[in-house]
Structure formats: structure tokens, C-alpha cells
Amino acid sequence: MSPSTDTTAAPVVSVIGTGYLGATHAAATAELGLDVVGVDADPAKIDALARGEVPFYEPGLPELLRRHTETGRLRFTTSVAEAVAAADVHFVCVGTPQQRGSNAADLSYVEAATLAVARSLTHDGLIVGKSTVPVGTAARLRTLARAAAPDGVEVDLVWNPEFLREGKAVEDTLRPDRIVVGSEPGTDVEPLLRVYARPVEDGTPLIRCDLPTAELVKVSANAFLATKISFINAIAEVCDAAGADVAVLADALGHDARIGRQFLDAGLGFGGGCLPKDIRALAHRAGELGAGRAATLLQQVDEINMAQRQRVIDTVLQVCGGSVLNRRVGVLGAAFKPRTDDVRDSPALNVAAALHLRGAQVVVFDPQAGATAQRQFPTLGYGASVAEAVAGADVVLVLTEWDEFAHADPARLRALVASPQVVDARHCLDERAWRAAGWSVHGLAPAREAPAEPRAQDALVPA
């Protein structure tokens, strides 16, 4: 594999960082017909990826990895220099986690990766940032990369944010909703456009813009989705007080093309590795820039979302007569959403751990996230099936909306529990069918301003 010398041919691509974003981007880019080399500092991860194995659950990704490592179109290495020497376009796909003790993003990984590429260049190259960063980062990295490149080698940097949804990441890469390319005037982005030639030919919108706009697109999209979720949860509280049905209300709202039905499911709220950290980082950056109203809005979105976890705990306490001490609680769901095994900032595990700290005997089942959850929270109990999780339970909690839970047979489960009480925190059950099978189905308790119990987010500390 060597860099392309034909300015009209598809370039050779390097992908720096082979975590969730990088591994998916590398495999999907190979599927688009390009030669790709992925880079990671972890030799064990590189060896696993070369065998088509990934340390997380993402439908379709292992098959893509195996197909293109076998053809030779995709390979992996631990050497940045080796990868950079072989490629023309260099995607930076490393993480930008939340800083310890701050809501700001930790940019140390993306800065180190950008500088490593720039210093390793043997010929002109284009660095493409895909990581989610605070606005203003790209311009600074562009300056650093140009200063770090060897004499006689030209390098430029553009920003091309990712919009992957866990559980649908392969599809989102192969057939994206849009492609955003942010650059400074005079930057030659043609090599990157050749990378995306197939999806653009298939009709994917291509949006050209400046660097700050490209940086803001991803975090703004996540902030809007988070706001939509917190909005419907705030309205759900009004519905509860007025005796209205928030699910029917959401359906009615969703028929308005300006609003849409997605992300209007009231319940436990959002989690995961993106939305929480992204809205906090955007609020922090907005505050730095003096955009106080945006910062205040996002803080309220975050607070409403976190309060939903306490509402679930309050509901369980009410169902159990005020205390869960020595009560058996069956928890269905550990991942922050279905079709993934990601338990980062998972509302489901947050609630499960908080109930455990209150003396409950908690047994968790998730179709994919059981192993990852057990590694992070080994003090919780885990079942190998829905039946094992609910056996002998005084109350059952549905905390992740897997189809397996939504379509479970309530009559069969009724025979397994000690008490037929279910808290549907995701509004995914057929309530009439469950009630007909003898269950008491509970929504969320009314929100309270100053909970007597510790907040769920404060109670959750991995063992």
C-alpha cells in the first residue's frame, strides 16, 4: 500500500485511533473502495481488529472488518509513521472525553494525534479532524500541524465531523445524512472529496463551510436532540399533573413535520458517551465565549435529564412502600440505549446502582451489555436472561428499550415474580397487555425539587 500519485484517483487513507469511531470509519471507508490503514497504540487491539474482532457491539462491523482485512484493502498498525508514509489523507478519530473536575473537553488526545501525523509526514498531506471538539480548536491545531511538519512538506487541516449513531454506525458512514467539510480559504480539499465520492454521487448533501461552523455542527445537533428529550420529559411532568397521556401527546406533536416524532419518548432520558459530554462541553465553551443564554439553556437541559433518574428511583421506592431494603429488583437493561453494549453514563446502570446502595438485591439483564456492565459494576447481580433477572422480583424495571423486553410475554413473566409490579421507564411496553396479564404498570413519580435521598448521579460510583 503506497500513497496515490494520481490526483484524480481515490487517495490512500490513514485513520488515527481505532476506538468506536475510528474502527467503524476505517472499515466503512474500505467498503467505499479505498485503501485504508488504521493506527492504534494498543497492539492487542490492532491484532483483534486484524482478525475482524471488536471490543464492543456494533451490528455489521465485524463482517466489514473481516471482508476488507482479507482482501488487503484494510490493514492495521501501531506505527503512526508507517501509516502516514502510506497515505494521503489522515483522519484523526481519537476521543475527546470530559476533563476531570470540569465540563470542558479534554483535547490532549486529539492534539497529540494531530502532531504525531504532522511530524511523521514524508510527503504533502491533508489532516482531517473527525473528533468532536470545542469551537476554535481546529484553527489552533491547523497552526500547530503546519509548524510541526518537516521542512519542504505541506500540510493542511480541515474538519469533517462524524454523525454516527451507536447501533447504526456502519449505515451512517456508508450512507450519511450529510457530509460537512470545514476549511480555511485556499485549502485544497479535493483529496477528501474523492474519499466521499460515492456517497455524494448517491445523493448525500455536501456542506462546505468554515472551520468554526464545522466544529459547531456536531455539538449543536447533539444539543438539539438532548433538548428535545428534556423538553418532552418536562412536558411529561405537566401531563402527569393534568392527567394527560404524554405518549399520545408526543404522537400528535410528531405529525407536525417541523417537529417530528423521533426523540420525543418521555422516560428515563439520555446517556452514553456523546450527548452528556457534548452538551456540557458546549455549555462550557459558550460560557467562555460570553454566550450566557446558550450556556444556561444547556445546563437546564442537563438538569432535567439527570432528574429523570431520580424520578425512577422515587417510583420504585413508592412501589415498594418507601424502602427497597432487602427487596429483589429485576432490572431489564444496562446499555444506555438498545443495539449497543455501551454503558458509559448509562441511566439504566445509574438507577440500578443507586437502588443497590439503598439495600436492594438488584439483578440486571441486557442482551448485549451484560459483560461490559459487570466489568464496571461487579457488585450488582447479573442474569443470563430476562427470566433470570425477574425471578422472585418484588418489582421489575424496564430501563433500556430493547425489542426483547418490549415483546416479552407478560403472562410468562408473571409466573416468575414474587410481586407483579413493573416500572416502564421507557414507555415501551403494551400497557394493556401487561395489565391484562395481572401486572401493575407504573409510570414515573412526580419530580421533586429537593430529594431527601441522594441524587442518583451522586450515588453511582463504580466498584
Question: Residue 311 above 50 pLDDT?
Answer: yes
Return the pLDDT at 10. Answer: 80
* Residue 455 binned pLDDT confidence (cut-offs 50, 70, 90): very low
User: Residue 176 carries which side chain, given as an amino acid letter?
Assistant: P
- How many alpha carbons fall within 13 Å on the CB side of residue 330? 26
Domain 13-209 has CATH 3.40.50.720: yes
Question: Residue 462 above 90 pLDDT?
Answer: no
Return the pLDDT at 7. Answer: 54
What mean pLDDT do residues 448-454 have? 46
The phi and psi torsions of 72 (rounded to 5 degrees) equal 90, 0
pLDDT in tens, 4-24: 555 567 899 999 999 999 999
Question: Residue 26 above 60 pLDDT?
Answer: yes
Topology agreement, domain 13-209 and domain 219-290: no
pLDDT in tens, 114-166: 999 999 999 999 999 999 999 999 999 999 999 999 999 999 999 999 999 99
Return the pLDDT at 446. Answer: 73
CATH fourth-level superfamily of 219-290: N-(1-d-carboxylethyl)-l-norvaline Dehydrogenase; domain 2 (1.10.1040.10)
Task: Report whether 395 contacts 320 (CB < 8 A).
Answer: yes
Q: List the grid coordinates of 84.
A: 502516514
Percent of the chain surpassing pLDDT 70: 94
What residues does each domain of the chain span? 13-209, 219-290, 303-459
What mean pLDDT do residues 429-444 have? 95
Beta partners for residue 364, in sequence order: 331, 382
Return the pLDDT at 244. Answer: 94
Q: Catalogue the E-assigned strands of 200-281.
A: 206-209
Return the pLDDT at 12. Answer: 95
What mean pLDDT do residues 357-364 have? 98
What sign does the dihedral 418-419-424-425 (CA atoms) show? negative
Task: Report whether 198 contacts 33 (CB < 8 A).
Answer: yes
What mean pLDDT do residues 393-418 have? 98
pLDDT in tens, 186-236: 999 999 999 999 999 999 999 999 999 999 999 999 999 999 999 999 999
Look-up of cell digits 414474587: 418
Q: How far is 111 from 163, CA to CA, in rounded Å?
A: 21
Architecture of domain 303-459: 3-Layer(aba) Sandwich (3.40)
The phi and psi torsions of 394 (rounded to 5 degrees) equal -85, -25
Buried b (16+ CB within 10 A) or exposed e, 71-84: eebbbbbeebebbb
Question: Residue 460 above 60 pLDDT?
Answer: no
Beta partners for residue 126, in sequence order: 89, 156
Return the pLDDT at 359. Answer: 98
Distances (CA, A) of 158 to 84, 188, 193, 241, 457: 17, 9, 12, 50, 37
Return the pLDDT at 164. Answer: 92
What mean pLDDT do residues 317-324 have? 97
Return the pLDDT at 8. Answer: 62
* Residue 330 binned pLDDT confidence (cut-offs 50, 70, 90): very high
Which residues are annotated as catalytic?
274
Quote the pTM value: 0.89
What mean pLDDT do residues 158-177 have? 94
Question: Residue 238 above 60 pLDDT?
Answer: yes
* Residue 448 binned pLDDT confidence (cut-offs 50, 70, 90): low
What mean pLDDT do residues 302-311 have? 96
The phi and psi torsions of 208 (rounded to 5 degrees) equal -100, 135
